[in-house]
Structure 1
Amino acid sequence: MAIVVKTLSEQAYEIIRERILSNDMQPDKPIRQDALSQTLGVSKIPLREALTRLEHDGLLISHPNRGFLVRPLTVNEAEDVFDLRLSLEPDAAAEACKKASDEQREKVKEIFIDLQNHADECSPEAVTVNSAFHLALTEMPDKPVTQVLLERLHLLSERYVRMHLEPPNREANAFREHQEIFDAWMARDGKAVKKLLKAHTKGTLEDLREQIPS
């Protein structure tokens, strides 16, 4: 196994990203880069690289006079992101389950087991595994543009998914739905995959409309 050495910028990115997903950094409050630099033990250059990357991910926004701020969660953005996912993801997963190689099917199975291990959690790790599971269902070598678009949408979805999983019993309900989607995908039942994934995504959006403050 190769040893992976992460740069200071990459380490700062991962720490700040986890804090944002954990709601430890409040939206619309300017990030004090001097204080954050000292807390993380990194200089301003790798810190700014990390913040710029997080802005590209859609987790931060920047203003000329206020610097970087955590992007607020809004119903409008949730509808935009999840509607786009609905237009791409169910069809892509339905097609991918029929084309999947043995290697791809094994990958989906391994990620599902990891998802099962996080079934009772509402943590940044659980949200990351959730995204990995959804993306593995749609992966097709001959559809790279679709995959890039879905990866971007899942980056924007992560904080909303974390919010969605906060109420009691949400994790259990989500895992039950993931189990049904996984079973249909492994059975190469594209019609069922499309139907289940649409219902799963629509249900998440409906819950978010009630959860996000107007």
Structure 2
Amino acid sequence: MRNVATEPGDGEELSLAERAYRAIRDRLVMLEIRPGAPINEDQLAQSLGVGRTPVREALKRLQYERLITTYPRRGTFATEVNITDLAYISEVRQELEPLAAARAARRATATDRATLTALRRELESVDPRGHAAADLMHLDLQVHRAIYAATHNPYLEDTLVRHDNLATRIWCLFIDRLSDVAGHVEEHGPLIDAIVAGDPDKAAQLAGNHVEGFERAIRAAI
């Protein structure tokens, strides 16, 4: 399994259920567990080195987040990626991503700014020829999650993490048809600069443009 995208709390002692949740979630988001694939609790528990109870707790959360679905007498499966959901997901993100960027620009702590600055340096080192598309998407997830955490609004953060996860699944489904994945990820550079500089208006504008560009790129690839 690839390393999951880092996020707030990674430096803390996490419960087994939280560890299982994050690992399974990111496998689903990155389509390492393919849409429609059956979810086997025993196999997941074995691969993660935990018992079945933490896995079951994780799966309950993932069902709420629309990443898995359970059918009576059939079992549990990774949800299908439905392209018709793109408009609904984008509708939410177009409203909330600019809000989050602006709040992050106003509220980011010194630690938040250090995290974002480190990600900015990583973005600068991106070589489209030397980075696999999946690695670029992991970096994309890290940037988004760091921005959401910098809002210091747990309700806004949770909502956007869930919707960004769903958007990333769509992105990963069409990644082979997209011509400029690196360019999409590198767009975060100016956004991070605006947040670190404490410029909420510019941060909001750049975040809105980024979401609109995402939807255009996906629709062009369909």
- TM-score relative to the length of structure 2: 0.72
Distance 1:182 1:161 in 2: 21
Alpha-carbon offset, residue 151 of structure 1: 2.5
Q: Counterpart of 1:140?
A: 151
CA distance 1:25–1:84, shift in 2 (3 Å): same
Residue deviations 1:69-103, cap 9 Å, x none? 11111123222122101111113312431443433
Give matches, 1:1-214, under 5 Å: 4=13, 7=16, 13=21, 16-33=24-41, 44-116=52-124, 120-123=131-134, 126-138=136-148, 139-141=150-152, 143-163=153-173, 165-167=175-177, 169-211=179-221
Answer whether contact 1:115 1:130 (CA < 8 A) is retained: no
Residue deviations 1:160-214, cap 9 Å, x none? 24335444542321133112222333333333222221111111112223445xx
- Unaligned 5+ segments in structure 2 are 1-10
How many residues are paired up? 208
Distance 2:173 2:124 in 1: 19
- Unaligned 5+ segments in structure 1 are none
Answer whether contact 2:126 2:182 (CA < 8 A) is retained: no
- TM-score relative to the length of structure 1: 0.74
- Identity over aligned residues, as a percent? 27
Answer whether contact 1:115 1:126 (CA < 8 A) is retained: no
Distance 1:101 1:34 in 2: 41
Answer whether contact 1:34 1:44 (CA < 8 A) is retained: yes
C-alpha RMSD over aligned residues: 3.3
Answer whether contact 2:86 2:215 (CA < 8 A) is retained: yes
Partner SS state of residue 118, structure 2: helix
Answer whether contact 1:90 1:194 (CA < 8 A) is retained: yes
Distance 2:207 2:192 in 1: 10
AA paired with 2:68?
A: L
